[in-house]
Amino acid sequence: MPSKLAENILIENLLSLNAVAFLTDEPLRLKSGLVTPIYVDNRKLITHPDAWHDIIETMASLIDKWGLEYDVIAGVEAGGLTHSAALAYRLNVPTIYVRQRAKTYGDLDRIEGGSVKGKKVLIIEDHISTGLSCLDAIKTLREEGAIVTDCVSITNFDMTETGELFAEAGVKAYRMIEFKRIVEKALEMKLINEEQKTTIMEWLKTPWTWAARRGLIATTREN
């Protein structure tokens, strides 16, 4: 993990830029169907170069600290794409990205940037919730001959079910920032109160049953 000082700076940036927002009064339904009081959009970092630079530099340092091996950096369309490209530029290594769907023209491929056959590919995501889009990208890369064993994200809800899916796929998921630290910092910054913190922490423990137990219905849907 980053140093305490570095972590605080990263978290404050995420919260100040509204890359992480709390919707305890108006929960959101994600594309997966999961109802959540937390919305994460780390794509907002790319319009704030100082904050984005901090993320990319810290990610590069952590990848070295964790001893991850790779020939290619890969992003997943769309959230992980900009971060993976910036990281690859910083590390001076090749980068590719995986489309959500295959092209309807040309080579009809889902992988953009070149062949990954026989290469060790490190996946970069902006955020992991259910992890389904990331795991789908990993499946596509492996079908094209890539070796994929690791994934790095800025944030991760650390859902038990998601962890089990990554373990079954033989992939270790690393994250830069523990989500409960973001919640604690939000309370410290007075962005949420104690009651909201309790609600959010309950969701992080039991995300799939949280809404039903509270009789809540999502008022908005992720697009």
| Bind-site residues for orotate | 129
What does the block give as tokens for 130? Answer: 């259910």
Dist CA 15 CA 13 (whole Å): 5
Pairwise CA distance, residues 134 & 131, whole Å: 5
DSSP secondary structure letter of residue 215:
T
Binding region for 5-phospho-alpha-D-ribose 1-diphosphate: 31, 99, 103, 125-133
Amino acid at 135: L
- Residue 71, token pair as written in the block: 């020939």
DSSP 71-126: SEEEEETTTTHHHHHHHHHHHT--EEEE-SS--SSTT--SEESS--TT-EEEEEEE
The H or E element that residue 155 is part of is strand 147-156
Give CA–CA dist 102/65, Å, rounded: 35
Q: What are the CA-CA distances from residue 135 to residues 60, 120, 153 (Å)?
A: 22, 16, 13
Cα–Cα distance measured from residue 203 to residue 222, given in angstroms and rounded to the nearest whole number: 18
Annotated binding-site ranges: 31, 99, 103, 125-133
